Amino acid sequence: MALRAAEKGFMVVGLDTNVAVVEALNSGVSHIDDVSDDELKTGLSSGYRASNDPAEMATADVIVVCVPTPLSEDGGPDLGAVKGAATAIGEHVQPGALVILESTTYPGTTEEVFAPLVLGPGRQAGTDIRIAFSPERIDPGNREYGVKNTPKVVGGLTPECTRAARDFYAEFIDTVVEAKGAKEAEMAKLLENTFRHVNIALVNEMVRFSHELDIDLWDAIDCAATKPFGYMAFRPGPGVGGHCIPVDPSYLSHRVKAQLGYAFRMVELAEEINTAAPLYVANRVWQALNERKIAVNGARILLLGVTYKANISDRRESPADPLAKRLLEWGAEVRYHDPYVPEWTIKATAGKKLMCEKDLSEAVREADIVVLLQAHSEYDLDGIAAESSHLLDTRGAHFASTAHVSRL
């Protein structure tokens, strides 16, 4: 977004507390999959630069906040970065500025947590400083929809705040949608992500009993997807990952529980099913090996693609970790290949570290079973299927026509 704004003639400063990130950006090295070094360098020569000096905010007309909103140890919202950013803004922001929060969070954060720190005592939202929420809607790896052509939802604390945010984004985004207020904009984002979470859980649950009933759910989904109205296809997988789907719905359920005292049952159920998905894959690995009279204990298992989605390097909350952990606990010899991940420290395994297999073809041939977790476009699935003794395809990416290839 910073680069799109710079292209339009804005002077943009990317402010980050991480000095290494700032230095890399200023030297033309991008840490974001979807932003190439060349694109960054073009930005650097046309109005963009990075900084770690919060005093830069004193000269800003617009401040956009997109700091992380992870879960805390107890599974609740961790708004530490949002509060930290808001406090720094409050110390430097000048009257008349527009301040927009983009971090995904529960409805009410902008008004109740963010704005008081930005405004401090005596300043009013709308008159002194305009404050709005606008959800980040980036889909990493998506080549069709980027910042410019993905509609942007904005909701301010006052109608004037909404208008100011709309006018700002309209400078470099094709479509800007005005929400009734900040709470509705916050809720829109959580609705989008909860919708995905719940629908992925639906097929992840259906795939289990479909397998037992000998029904090809993948085929049923393809058939259902031909309905031109009232249906949207979601496909099973090894579990949900990334910073959004496994995390954001928890912000909403936490809010409902904390404020109203009751559970958001759809989210809790979806979490239960999607969290169990990697362990279901482990069971299917066990079953596939068992059919060939091979014990998991000592078996050589090759995992392909350990990021949370295809064609990106982000590993946050990847289902590959709980799957590998379970297989290691069962005594398997786990190996992996991922063109985006040179080395992998498996979460919750006392620092078990693996190096990416150098020769994919050899690793496939040596494995007792190959498990496709992410169908990166680099993978020749026909070749992998032909060379493997068994391929378990958790993505439905390879048409399962032979006895030694199975889909989840």
Ligand X SMILES: NC(=O)c1ccc[n+]([C@@H]2O[C@H](COP(=O)([O-])OP(=O)(O)OC[C@H]3O[C@@H](n4cnc5c(N)ncnc54)[C@H](O)[C@@H]3O)[C@@H](O)[C@H]2O)c1
Query: Which whole-number Å values give the CA distances from 76 to 189, 309, 375, in the listed order?
Result: 18, 25, 32
| Interface positions with ligand X (CB under 6 A) | 15-18, 21, 66-69, 81, 84-85, 103-104, 136, 138, 140, 243-244
Name, in order, each residue with C-beta under 8 angstroms of 203's C-beta and a sequence gap of 6 or more: 217, 221, 234, 235, 236
**Minimum distance of ligand X from residue 86's CB (angstroms):** 9
Name, in order, each residue with C-beta under 8 angstroms of 124's C-beta and a sequence gap of 6 or more: none
**Of 137 and 300, CB closest to ligand X:** 137
**Minimum distance of ligand X from residue 302's CB (angstroms):** 28
**Of 20 and 355, CB closest to ligand X:** 20
**Of 16 and 111, CB closest to ligand X:** 16
Q: Which amino acid is at 150?
A: T
**Of 136 and 216, CB closest to ligand X:** 136
* DSSP single-letter state for residue 395: S
**Minimum distance of ligand X from residue 397's CB (angstroms):** 22
Cα gap 204→281, rounded to integer Å = 11
Cα gap 266→318, rounded to integer Å = 22
Residue 295, helix vs strand vs coil: coil
**Minimum distance of ligand X from residue 378's CB (angstroms):** 21
Indicate the length of the chain as a whole number.
Answer: 408
**Minimum distance of ligand X from residue 22's CB (angstroms):** 9
Q: Could you give the residue numbers annotated as active site? A: 244
Look at the alpha carbons of 200, 231, 249, 170 in this order and tell me if their dihedral is positive or negative. Answer: positive
Please check whether residue 250 is in contact with residue 72, taking contact to mean a CB–CB distance below 8 angstroms.
Answer: no
Please check whether residue 367 is in contact with residue 389, taking contact to mean a CB–CB distance below 8 angstroms.
Answer: yes
Cα gap 63→54, rounded to integer Å = 11
**Minimum distance of ligand X from residue 83's CB (angstroms):** 8
**Of 198 and 289, CB closest to ligand X:** 198
**Beta-strand (E) ranges in 194-316?**
300-304
Please, what's the largest Cα pairwise distance for the chain? 74
**Of 113 and 138, CB closest to ligand X:** 138
Reading the block at residue 254, the tokens are 């936490």
Give the angle 266-267-272 at the CA atoms, nearest 5°.
100
**Of 35 and 276, CB closest to ligand X:** 35
**Beta-strand (E) ranges in 226-347?**
300-304, 333-337, 343-345
Cα gap 297→300, rounded to integer Å = 9
**Minimum distance of ligand X from residue 262's CB (angstroms):** 25
